[in-house]
A and B are shown apart, each in its own frame.
Chain A
Amino acid sequence: MKKNSRWASLYMALVLLLLYLPILVVVLFSFNANPGRTANFQFEGFSLQWYEDLFDPAAGYGAALSSSLVLAFWSVLLSAVIGTLGAIGLTRRRARKGLLARAGASALSAGEHLAMLPIMIPEIILAIALMALFSAIRLPFGMVTLVLSHVAFCVPYIYITVKGRLATLDPALEEAARDLGASPAKVLWTVTLPLAVPAIVSGCLLAFAMSMDDFVISFFVNGPQTTTLPLKVYSSVKVGVPPHVNALCSVMLAAAFLLVALGQLVSSGSLRRRRRAPVSG
């Protein structure tokens, strides 16, 4: 047993090392006092020069970051509404009789699987499909097309987390609310939604991270004024890696870690609350 676990930890350490070594290199060299125009991976001394470059407005990273944030904000907001309502609608539907209702029910369950498609089909296919669609309907490429595309792949993340939470809710809670005089709309507002909030928040964090990170889809549907951060990075490294990209990656990495930690905090907080109240037990 003990020997076994020692091998397991060694294996784990190896995997983590291989995973994080390249990232560590990037972080390390973001502090490199590198004289050249392109990154040279020989450590020549500590410097914060590249971070200074990064925050220089002329570099355009500020504009790219704000594009990314605006895009992520609208994408997550719209996805949260669509994903949450979808999850509630599909979990709380009632079995009804009749041919038409049954056909409707099977259409809904088919829709449920279709809703997951955007995160399962290859990104490049989705990107090309969206691009073709927007050109066909002559929608000018820009923030609108970016938001629509990001919503397409953000919805499933929120939908899955909210649906998972709702599935663990005791249906008696909603019945008790009805029994105490709440209309279905009031049940949703006073019982279902408040109990789903932790799941909605953690779904939103996930979707936010996905939107901030997306390159492939954004590449195909962006316009001239809407260069997002990943697109900006890509255009900077086309002709060799400028050293400030290391700094940029380090900053993005730190932001991502922060988001993940926040997400953990939210969901573990809701877990603790749930453990204190084993209502469905």
Chain B
Amino acid sequence: MAERPVLLSLRGLHKSFDTQEALNGLDLDVYQGEFLTLLGPSGCGKTTTLRIIAGLEQPTSGRVLLDGQDITALAPEKRAVNTVFQNYALFPHMNVARNVAYGLRMRGAPKSEISARVDEMLELVQLTGYEKRMPGQLSGGQRQRVAIARSLILSPRLLLLDEPLGALDLQLRRQMQQELKRMQQKLGITFIYITHDQEEAMSMSDRIALMRLGRFVQIDAPRDLYERPQTAFAASFIGETNLISGRAEAVKEGEVLLQVAGFSLPCVSRDWIVPGEALLLCVRAERLHLSHEPVPAPCRVAGEIVESHYAGGERTTVVRLPDGQVLRARHTTEGESEPLPGSRVYCWWHPDSGVLVRDDREETP
């Protein structure tokens, strides 16, 4: 990834609306041909970031560079960047063909080129034959495709997509996810994609920029974000996670002993940890194993089953540790004996499955 040329850079981007700080110093490099997702809870500044890149909003300070050129003050119509808007924003008074042709018409392209390109784009989004329909006569999924065709006809360097699938039902959503990804790979266009759906982000992106309170929390490949979260927020935003609080003890080369409810758990150390510090240990629910016998595992705690929820192929069991902390373990129901509430159980995990993070959950801007 790193050897690919950088297409877009954000440098120290700040944005405040009246007194409210929307963006709090964003720095980001987006590589050519990359599928980058901005993920975060609503109000975290995703859309504002996208609008600044599109030129629809001016940052309070900071710069936007496209191909090394400063485009911060450039008008939106002069940027080689196009946007697929959240509600598609199709022109209701133009038919599908005229909607798709709009960008080329504004460029003053010759008629023959326009009609050839419109045909090509409608074929790409599988809407050949819908040229004369008005946007109001299309279904949500079709409107979505028209919006994509309309943005792609200008062959932008960068396509911005603001929750493009947010209004579609689940089945259509899954289908469009695959189609979008296929299109992006076929055309080699860089995508910056906004979603608040973590599953969508995980399955489509090359990298995910996790945002919170106008800052990037972590920018990483989906796998790294899941396996190696940097903070408690990153760990809890994606997937089902146990955050076990404990105190660091005996920091050694590469290893920390974490004291949790009287158990001493060896964990992979991180260079910022100092002895005595209160930390959170992140263990994914599906990496937490249960056993009625004391398994010879170094990372093992014992507790009492509080409750257990059956959900077909999976079951979630809630375990209370002696100090009152509650753990959730997700496991397959294949050949299981039903866990009985009140019974004693051992929870264990592989030392590599536990990641130590700082507690940033209460943080405010």
Contact = CB atoms under 8 A, between A and B. Distances in A.
Contact of B134 (A182, A277, A280): A277
B141 to A, nearest CB: 15
Interface string B49-79: 0000011100000000000000000011100
A178 B75 contact: yes
Interface stretch (A24-32, A118-126, A169-177): A169-177
Nearest to B17: A95
Interface string A268-281: 00000111111111
Given A180-B150, A181-B107, A175 B92 contact: no
Contacts of B56: 175, 178-179
Contacts of A181: 77, 103, 106-107, 154
Given A176-B85, A186-B106, A278 B136 contact: yes
Given A180-B151, A277-B136, A172 B85 contact: yes
Given A195-B92, A195-B93, A277 B135 contact: yes
B88 A175 contact: no
Interface in A151-187: 170, 172-173, 175-183, 186
Interface residues of A, number: 26
B91 interface: yes
B77 A182 contact: yes
Contact of A172 (B55, B87, B167): B87
A279 B106 contact: no
A170 B89 contact: yes
A2 B94 CA distance: 46
Given A176-B85, A278-B136, A182 B106 contact: yes
Nearest to A187: B77
Contacts of B81: 179
A173 B92 CA distance: 9
A176 B136 CA distance: 17
Contacts, number: 86
Interface string B132-153: 0011110000000000001100
Given A178-B76, A180-B151, A181-B106, A276 B137 contact: yes
Given A195-B92, A279-B92, A180 B102 contact: yes
Contacts of A182: 77, 102, 106
Interface of A is mostly: helix
B134 A179 contact: no
Given A274-B92, A279-B89, A280-B87, A179 B136 contact: no
B90 interface: yes
A190 B102 CA distance: 9
B77 A178 contact: yes
24 contacts: A170-B89, A175-B76, A175-B85, A178-B55, A178-B76, A178-B77, A179-B81, A179-B82, A180-B103, A180-B106, A180-B150, A181-B106, A181-B107, A183-B75, A186-B106, A195-B92, A195-B93, A273-B93, A277-B90, A277-B134, A278-B136, A279-B87, A279-B90, A281-B167
Contacts of A194: 93
A280 to B, nearest CB: 6
Contacts of A177: 91, 102, 106
B83 interface: yes
B182 to A, nearest CB: 24
Contacts of B106: 177, 180-182, 186, 190
A191 interface: yes
Contact of A175 (B89, B90, B103, B135): B89
Contacts of A281: 87, 167
6 pairs of A and B residues whose beta carbons are closest in the complex = A276-B136, A277-B136, A277-B92, A172-B89, A180-B103, A176-B89
